[in-house]
Structure 1
Amino acid sequence: MRAVVVREFGGPGALTAVEVPVPVPGAGQLRIEVAAAGVNPVDAVTRSGVLAELGLLPRLAGSTVGIGWDVAGTVAELGPGTQEFAVGDRVIGLRDRLDVPLGAYAEHLVLDASAVAPLPDGLSAVAAATLPLNALTADQALDLLDLPAGASLLVTGAAGGVGGFAVELAARQRGLRVVAVAGAADHDALRAMGARWLVDREVPDLAAAVRELVPGGVDGALDAALLGIRALGAVRNRGAFVSVAGDVPVGLRGIRVRTVWIAADGPALGRLAELAARGELTLRVADTLPLAQAEQAHRRLARGGLRGRLVLVP
């Protein structure tokens, strides 16, 4: 089968198309015939070698690293003891391990059944492939914040993949009052997604702008744009702060500071997929490209300005 992997870290040209054997599922696993794979910024970070430098990936020495976290497709084979799904089921899943030779950029992918969820009727594989990584990250970040209904939440990078899902989940599912930070061109869309207040991402003093809207500061912040101390300044004393990357500010003023480290969760993914099927989560596809054009997809990702996710189709 065809797959796209990395054998030497570097720029988009480091993505290499290879022919490899079709993977075989082990106990509690299943093999998915891939119909669509989402392209995420973490794919580019993995490809570049930054994660290896941070010790999150082994350094390459004659081995390969798989690329791609988000997958949608059809169950093609069940491993021993796997009973949750049947061959032919439409599914979505998340590959959350970095240290494996194959990712979602492939014609077939083996995942633990616990990382997979049914793909609801009415959702296309292409649209669903934008959901797992970003929506689960947003959902798990909100769990870490643990804010009660009616509390105020700052979301930075609100027009991005994680941020957009966070706005909708917070406002529509958890009853939070959301302050969304994004470019002015995205404000109307975010308001429709449930944001109560909008702040332009170019504002010189983010904390002051937020505190003008929410006197005393917000109860919590989900920092999807990695603004760090700029976003922390908008949080009230003894509030909560969650970042989507490992570099977090010091928890000044008694603020509880955490990092969300994504973990595959089939049941939670199934719940999120049902929300999307009912139109309560917005799935945004910027464009689809053939798997063979993974390098071009990464070059487009690097240019920025995308509304939604690029999706590779084998």
Structure 2
Amino acid sequence: MRTVIIRSFGGPEVLEVTDVPVPEPGPGQIRIRVAAAAVNPVDLQTRSGALTAAGLIPEREAIGIGWDVSGTVDTLGPDVVGFRPGDAVIGLSDRLSLPSKAQAEYVVLDTDAVTAVPTGIDLVAAATLPLGGLTAVQALDIAGAKPGDTLLVTGAAGAVGGYTVQLAARAGLRVVAVASAGDEELLRDLGTEFFVPRTADLPAAVRDLVPGGVHAAVDAASVGTLALDAVRGGGSLVSVRGNAPTPLRGIRVGNVWIRADGPRLAEVAAAGLRPRVADVLPLDEVAEAHRRLEAGGLRGRLVLVP
């Protein structure tokens, strides 16, 4: 089968689509025939060597690429219940150091990392849900905001930010979204109550809208202390990218360290979120997908199809 790997670190040119044996599922695992796999910022960090420099991925001969996957169940490992060959599923490959991951023709995942695709969601759009949706819901869990509380979301028009806005609004939170001015209409439609252009003085603009500051923040754009300054004393801030600021004024500060969670992913998939696909490319054009993601300005995720 074909799979995307790197053998050295660098720019998109180090990405390689190579042939490897089709993986076999072990006990409690299923093999998925991949229909689509989204491209995420973590893929860029893996390829560049940033995650290895941070001590998160050991150097090895080949490192697989890709976290999000949608497809159909191909083969069941021993002791698997609840899935059948042909089932449409989505899942998350959350282990960093694997020789082959989701950007491939087949991927093997533990059953607790997988859930069924709800009726009405096509497999290409569904491939954008696992990493972004689980990051959003786990960030909201850490933030601990209650219905009626105000929640600041930076990078609100991005994949994670957009899912955070939708899930928060559905949970009864009053969302303050930060994004480009051109994204305001979209974010209002997703459930935002307050909007702040990202060019504004963030703490001042937020406190003008919410006197005293918001109860909690999910910082998907890594603005750090600026987002913290918009949170009221004793509130909470959750960083999506692992670089949470110093916890001043009694604010609880945390990072999201994403993990696969099939049951929680089922909740996300059933929540009626609006997936956004920026474009669809063949697996062989993975390097182009990385170049486009690095260039920025995308609304939604690029998706690879084998």
Q: Does TM, normalized by the shorter one, top 0.5?
A: yes
Please show how residues 291-306 of structure 1 align to structure 2 within 5 Å.
291-306=283-298
Offset at residue 17 of structure 1 (A): 1.0
Q: In the alignment, which residue of structure 1 is the partner of 2:178? A: 181
Unaligned segments of structure 1, at least 5 residues: none
| Partner residue in 1 for 2:198 | 201
- Are residues 1:42 and 2:38 paired? no
1:226-263: per-residue Cα shift (whole Å, max 9, x none)? 00001000000000010012211110000000101101
The whole-number CA distance in structure 2 between the counterparts of 1:196 and 1:31 is: 42
Match of 2:81 in 1: 83
Partners of 2:133 and 2:298 in 1: CA distance:
17
- Distance in 2 separating the partners of 1:272 and 1:252: 32
The aligned counterpart of 1:272 is 268
Q: 2:132 aligns to what SS in structure 1?
A: helix
Match of 2:219 in 1: 223
Which residue number in structure 2 is paired with residue 168 of structure 1? Answer: 166
What is the rounded CA distance, in whole Å, between the counterparts of 2:111 and 2:37 in structure 1?
18
Encode CA deviations 1:106-147: one digit per residue, 9 max, x unaligned.
000000000000011211110000110001000000001111
Aligned to 1:110: 108
CA distance in 2, matches of 1:272, 1:250: 31
In angstroms, what is the RMSD of aligned CA positions? 0.7
Name stretches of at least 5 consecutive residues in structure 2 with no aligned partner.
Answer: none
In structure 1, C-alpha distance between the alignment counterparts of 2:205 and 2:97, rounded to whole Å: 42
Residues in 1 aligned to 2:133 and 2:33: alpha-carbon distance in whole angstroms? 22
TM-score (norm 2): 0.99
The residue number in structure 1 matching 2:241 is 245
Shift of 1:67: 0.5
Cα distance in 2 for partners of 1:130, 1:212 equals: 35
> How much does 1:84 deviate?
1.9
Sequence identity percentage:
60
Tell me which residue corresponds to 1:254: 250
Say which SS state the counterpart of residue 102 (structure 1) adopts. coil
Residue 37 of structure 1, CA deviation: 0.3
Distance 1:268 1:297 in 2: 28
Partner-residue secondary structure (3-state), 1:232: helix
Letter in 2 for 1:145: A
Give the letter for the 1:209 counterpart. A
SS in 2 for 1:252: coil
Per-residue CA distance 1:165-221 (angstroms, 9 max, x = gap):
00010012x100000000000000000100000000011x21011000000000000
Equivalent-residue separation in structure 1 for 2:249 and 2:292 (angstroms): 41
Question: Number of residue pairs matched?
Answer: 306
| Aligned residue identity for 2:290 | H
Cα distance, 1:163 vs structure 2: 0.3
SS in structure 1 at match of 2:271 = helix
Partner of 1:286: 278
User: Scaled by the length of structure 1, what TM-score is found?
Assistant: 0.96
1:143 equivalent among 141, 144, 149: 141
Partner-residue secondary structure (3-state), 1:307: coil
Secondary structure of 1:254 counterpart: coil
Superposition pairs of residues 62-81 of structure 1, within 5 angstroms: 63-81=61-79
Per-residue CA shift, 1:251-310, capped at 9, x if unaligned?
A: 00000001011010101111111223xxxx110011100001101111111111111111
Question: Partner amino acid for 2:11?
Answer: G
- Amino acid of the structure 2 residue aligned with 1:146: G
Q: Structure 1 residue runs of 4+, over 3 Å off? A: none
In the alignment, structure 1 residue 98 sits paired with structure 2 residue 90: no
Letter in 2 for 1:272: V
